[in-house]
Chain A
Amino acid sequence: MAASAARGAMALRTNIGRPVAFVRKIPWTAASSELREHFAQFGHVRKCTVPFDKETGFHKGMGWIHFSSEEELHNALQQENHVIDGVKLHVQPQRPKALQGDQTSDEEKDF
């Protein structure tokens, strides 16, 4: 049972202070290399993931761009329009898991 408390706490750690952009509405025609190519203009892309669903062979339209620095992430977020294959992407900073961790905790606020 102590483990569950520790797990909750663990969620706090992940991604704190890592410059990651969360991208949605990626057209099906684009995959990680297209994304990487696009975001390279804002800085060094350390890692770019667009997970594919092995059941369908399509991705789910979401991806993560890991930049080297906060500044690069900031550059990317500054740009208003991100368009790949004629489709406008939604780009936002990756929400630190800390917030999510708190929301799913046992603490109830609906009374």
Chain B
Amino acid sequence: MAALLRSARWLLRATAAPYLPLSLRLLAGGPGRPHAALCLRAARARPVAGGLLSQARLHSIAAEKKNDLQEEPTSSHRRNASQFDWALMRLDNSVRRTGRIPKTLLQKVFDNTCHSGSPGGNQALLLLRSCGSLLPELKLSERTEFAHKIWDELQKLGTVYDVSHYNALLKVYLQNEHKFSPTDFLAKMEKGNVQPNRVTYQRLIAAYCNMGDIEGASTILGFMKTKDLPVTEAVFSALVTGHARSGDMENAENILTVMKEAGIEPGPDTYLALLNAYAEKGDIDHVKQTLEKVEKSDLYLMDRDLLQIILSFSKAGYPQYVPEILEKITYERRYIPDTMNLILLLVTEKLEDTALQILLACPISRESSLNDFGSFFLRHCVTVNTPPEQLRDYCKKLKEAQLHTSPLQFTLQCALVAQKFDLAKVLMKALKEEGFPIRTHYFWPLLVGHQKEKNVQGIVEVLKGMHEMGVTPDQETYVNYVFPSFDSIESVRAVLQENGCPHDDNVFSQAELRSKAVNGNLDYILSFMESNTLPFSFASLRGSLILGFRRSMNINLWSKITELLYKDGRYCQEPPGPTEAVGYFLYNLIDSMSDSEVQAKEEHLRQYFHQLKEMNVKIPENIYRGIRNLLDSYHVPELIKDVNILVEREKTDSRKTSKPSSSDLESKLEKLKAENQPIGDILKQLILMLCSEENMQKALELKAKYESDMVVGGYAALINLCCRHDNAEDALNLKREFDRLDSSAVLDTGKYVRLVKVLGKHGKLQDAINILKEMKEKDVLIKDATVLSFFHILNGAALRGETETVKQLHEAIVTLGLAKPSTTLSSPLVTLYLEKDDLPAALESTIDCYEKYKILPRIHDVLCKLIEKGETELIQKAMDFVSQEQGEMTMLYDLFFAFLQTGNYKEAKKIIETPGIRARPTRLQWFCDRCIANNQVETLEKLVELTQKLFECDRDQLYYSLLKLYNAFNIFLTAKKQNIVFDNEAYARLINLLLMKDNSTQAMQVKDFAETHIKGFTLNDAANSLLIITQVRRDYLKDALTTLKTALDLDQIPSRLAVTRLIQACALKGDTESVQDIQKLVNGLEDSIGLSRMVFINNIALAQIKNNNIDVAIESIENMLTSENQTVDPQYFGLAYLFRKVIEGQLEPALEKISIMVERLANQFAVYKPVTDLFLQLVDSGKVDDARALLQAPVMKSLLELIPELIDKEEAYSCLMKSYVFDSDVASAKALYESLTAKNVKLNDLFLKRYAVLLKNAGESVPFTEPPESFEFYAKQLKESKETHL
């Protein structure tokens, strides 16, 4: 019913639409001729070719059809109704505003209609009717083509055509002056089993008449008479045209008399037909006479009708008469769209001069609000390829007539959009002549066009054009618009040279460098900078280099490049010098990263700073302070001390006059103290300096020493320092001393917050709360950033699971009014339980927040988890609550999103199809943004799919969100389909991205394509490493080995993980040769990769064992461990991996031989590491007995020396006791017993029995009750208990 109501609303809107000329005509028709009046609507359909359709037509199209609809409301109609509404609205808006439809819009609506599956009859009708004069920007033949395309396509999709569709098609034919055979058309209708009606015949008559075929028209007319169909004004008007076109003007005039005799008074349409007929003949006199006649009658011609006459004159080649008609035009505002459409139509017909004439005559165009009124004309001229010089002339005229403020610039823009280089050149020359600058970016749209087609020649032409115009391509031009079209930058250079295209080598090289930097190719940057001889501005590279750094994460390269910048005479040496430049670079690097990025890369950055320190790179103190503030605001103060080590102190020392060093200050302090002079100031200075040097210990010592001379400022700095060093104890003590010193003193907000954080972190909750209270009491300034810091404090505690800290601090912050509760600030209260997977408590906490603060933090996350765990009751509870508090709609949306998020699409579908649910744009957008942020393509696709029928849902917005998320792979596919080939780097990056996202299949697809389309296609280090890992996982070991070779050939350093994975996979396959090959390949690179030598020893042995060459494996290991020149220190000779794999693989013979080997190594060569490894591996894999067997006394003892903690293992001490008993070594046994009881180790009965017997045998007393049963009994008992334990 809703759909019908909506239709009804449409109907209302349609009839209520303003200025309906149709109804005017209906009124003009007057009463008394009901029949004729009824037919008027059809009559105004303008059988005259190229007629301008009124805005009202489209409304009536909809309205007419809607009436039918209500009579036969079939279900399919209903389903399509909302879709139809949407399409109609788009087209309607366009027609209402401009009286035309842009082709792109019609195409879009058409595509959408096709996409919707089974387009209904209404949609078909709407589309067909749009293909006539509503498309003034399209050539007549193109419009008809479009109509045919729509006709055929929709028919294929199952649309059933009725007579209204055939009539619509006929009308389009008439409007487009399409030549066709009316008899064939009738045959086509018959074949389609559709009966022609009056309108059909009427239009067929018009068709004949347009061709001047009176005979044909008469046949149809006779046919109508036999069927007793009424002959309307439209038929007579058509006959006027028909006679005129057959050259019989006399009879054309006579029709009017015939009409009157038939009882139909000629209306404006008939007169218009006559006027057009005279105009086509160039008969201005008769046109004037007829116009006078109409004026004298009670009829009235509208501007639109006059425009029609102008069109007829112009098309027939009589532009000279246009001004005379123009004079008669009233330029009523509502006819502006019609005027514009006529202008467009004339331009389409290549009658631009006439079009301009009309435009210039248009008084409206001079109104200030429309000061660039002529734009539509210029744009369309560009589209239809009006000759450049002619256009240039139009621009001049428009400017002179003040119809446009900047016609040349505007036309140039159109030319650039349309990729019309020749026109663009003419216009740029004109601009230049008029003294306007030609800017580099004017050429970018042209380059983009060629770039899309990979048209190298085109790009060269544009570059040459730039030169002609006196514009030099800048770095941006090369980096963004030239390089991407070439396989490599080297080939750009070659092509430019080949084509004699002038370029500035320096700009070019720097552009090249930037391009490589942006892509993270730091190897290139380093080697370029090492070999570069050109003058070089580091400032221009800074931004790109920062991007490259962030993309590469190869810290060694970061450091090397930074070192070069710092030390090499070619860079950063000019004032202010390397210290400033590099310092500023570091600042920018960190500034460009988000706080989460810095948090994630904390270790990398630390490593980088330390490497810089080793390279002796320094930064100025003021820049350090900037970095410190950044790190503070990023919530990673832990990195501050690592940057601090870079601060240039010597320089500070050398400038003693301006700034003394800490040691200077200290001696001065001591001197003053000795002289009994006041030291307060200098003490504070010194403390501040030590704080800035991050020297906490020294600062605290100093404070302790001169406590009585401390001032407030010194304390504040010290407190902050302790907080930074996570030293809660001292911070708190200092704060107390600070208060004692001056209870009214106030710290700054940041220091208070840091105190709260540190105190909270160390469980000093009450103290933290006291600080918060003090903040309130002392009215400390709370900024947005402060609230954010509160959130971080709470969130950190929540992630650490510190319930009390979160609750109490949150409570304190909120009750004190330091911050208002919000979904963000209060979310840690829920996070606390979500992290612990305590869902009832999480829900409770959310609800609690609502009851207290009217917010529902993390309700979405809670619901998702509840759904995942299938907690039906809790879901019900949550829903009841939301429903009751926030309404059913909110609840439904909450549930819908949660189902979508958790992949329960069926349930989500049910929810969104709840009757009465409406679109809530903010909520939908919220979820879209969330999907985009989390890269959830599928979820978003489902959202778009499921909300298809949602009432009032903004589809465009959703599709836009989806597009934002669609990954690069789809772009690749599209490009591939269109045969567009990107450059090496683009593919490499795409592959890297796909591999990281674990889309190996897609990655391989891209790689295969790239390899066949780009000669010498290469990937970078990271991508190759990922590729190796993927290939190993998919068991393509040969390919992985090839990838490794390729990477190494390119001097890349593959990741340790990739190489190790590959080696291990080969070894497990028993492929000794490959492992050895890899060893040779990476020879010399082990350290850069970070490979341990043991990787090869372990894996070669494993491969040999897998190949049943156990003896070879064992022999070689033994040789390595016993030979004179050992490559690996036996202490580090770890074989755990090999042993584990042998145990896991249940390779019993190998395990046996290995056991013998490790024992031999231990007993004969005193090499204990292997036996230890084996022992631990056996224990780990539950082979306790085997482990025990391994440990005979001598081995055991040495082993214990090696790893004393081993004694705590039950297997170990049991064995040891057994061996002491065996050796009757009472002293050692006693020591063992005592050390174990001292550690409160619970000893088993077998152990005690053994020890007791040993003592008794030695004649000593037993300090505990000897277990009464036999050895065997306890042995069995122990074994059984172990088994049940397992």
Contact = CB atoms under 8 A, between A and B. Distances in A.
Contact of A13 (B447, B595, B834): B595
Contact of A56 (B445, B827, B861): B445
Interface in A1-60: 1-10, 12-14, 16, 27-29, 31, 34, 52, 54-59
Given A4-B934, A7-B933, A29 B409 contact: yes
A14 B597 CA distance: 13
B988 interface: no
Interface string B772-788: 00000000000111011
Contacts of A93: none
A52 B855 CA distance: 41
B743 interface: no
Contacts of B75: none
B1048 interface: no
Contacts of B929: 104
A13 B633 contact: yes
Task: Determine the interface band of chain B, counting residues with CB < 8 A from chain A.
Answer: 35 or more
B784 A107 contact: no
Given A6-B795, A29-B439, A107-B822, A54 B448 contact: yes
Contacts of B926: 104-106
A63 B449 CA distance: 24
A14 B831 CA distance: 24
Contacts of B799: 2
B596 interface: yes
Contact of B596 (A1, A6, A105, A108): A6
B785 A2 contact: no
Contacts of B933: 4, 7
Interface in B820-863: 822-824, 827-828, 831, 834-835, 855-856, 858-861
A89 interface: no
B1107 interface: no
Contacts of B1133: none
Nearest to B799: A2
Contact of A86 (B405, B446, B792, B925): B405
B199 interface: no
Contacts of A4: 861, 930, 933-934
B406 interface: yes
Contacts of B860: 106
Interface in B410-468: 413, 416-417, 439-442, 444-449
B349 to A, nearest CB: 30
A58 B784 contact: no
A111 B633 contact: no
Residue of A27, A31, A54, A111 contacting most chain B CB atoms (<10 Å): A111
A9 B416 contact: no
B447 A57 contact: yes
Given A5-B795, A7-B933, A56-B445, A16 B481 contact: no
A105 B824 contact: yes
Interface string B892-924: 000000000000000000000000000010110
Contact of A16 (B444, B784, B798, B923): B784
B304 to A, nearest CB: 35
B890 A56 contact: no
B294 interface: no
Contacts of A28: 409, 413
A96 to B, nearest CB: 7
Interface in A46-101: 52, 54-59, 85-86, 96, 98
A5 B858 contact: yes
B480 interface: yes
B633 A2 contact: no
Contacts of B785: 12-13, 16
B436 to A, nearest CB: 8
Contacts of B447: 57
Contacts of A14: 594
**Binding site of A, secondary structure by majority: helix, strand, loop or mixed?**
loop
A57 B444 contact: yes
B430 to A, nearest CB: 14
B822 A96 contact: no
B823 A106 contact: yes
B889 A1 contact: no
Contacts of A107: 822-823, 855-856
Contact of B441 (A16, A52, A85, A106): A52
Interface string B747-774: 0000000000000000000000000000
Given A2-B799, A6-B596, A31-B439, A108 B922 contact: yes
Residue of A6, A27, A29, A57 contacting most chain B CB atoms (<10 Å): A57
Contacts of B934: 4
B791 interface: yes
Contacts of A110: 920, 922-923
A55 B440 CA distance: 17
B445 A85 contact: no
Interface in B854-877: 855-856, 858-861
B887 interface: yes
Contacts of B925: 104
A2 B798 contact: yes
Given A86-B406, A98-B784, A104-B926, A8 B795 contact: no
Contacts of A31: 439-441
Interface string B37-50: 00000000000000
A22 B137 CA distance: 37
Given A1-B858, A107-B855, A110-B920, A57 B784 contact: no
A105 B823 contact: yes
A105 B827 CA distance: 12
Contacts of A16: 783-785
Contacts of B596: 3, 6-7, 10
Residue of B480, B787, B788, B828 contacting most chain A CB atoms (<10 Å): B788
Contact of A9 (B480, B791, B855, B858): B791
B409 A2 contact: no
Contacts of B798: 2
Contacts of A98: 784
Interface of B: 405-406, 409, 413, 416-417, 439-442, 444-449, 480-481, 594-596, 633, 783-785, 787-788, 791-792, 795, 798-799, 822-824, 827-828, 831, 834-835, 855-856, 858-861, 886-887, 889-890, 920, 922-923, 925-926, 929-930, 933-934
10 contacts: A4-B933, A4-B934, A6-B596, A8-B824, A52-B444, A56-B448, A58-B445, A86-B405, A86-B406, A107-B855
Given A12-B784, A12-B824, A106-B926, 4 more contacts: A5-B831, A52-B441, A54-B480, A57-B416
Interface of A: 1-10, 12-14, 16, 27-29, 31, 34, 52, 54-59, 85-86, 96, 98, 102, 104-108, 110-111
7 closest Cβ contacts across the A-B interface? A57-B445, A57-B444, A57-B448, A5-B827, A1-B861, A111-B887, A31-B441
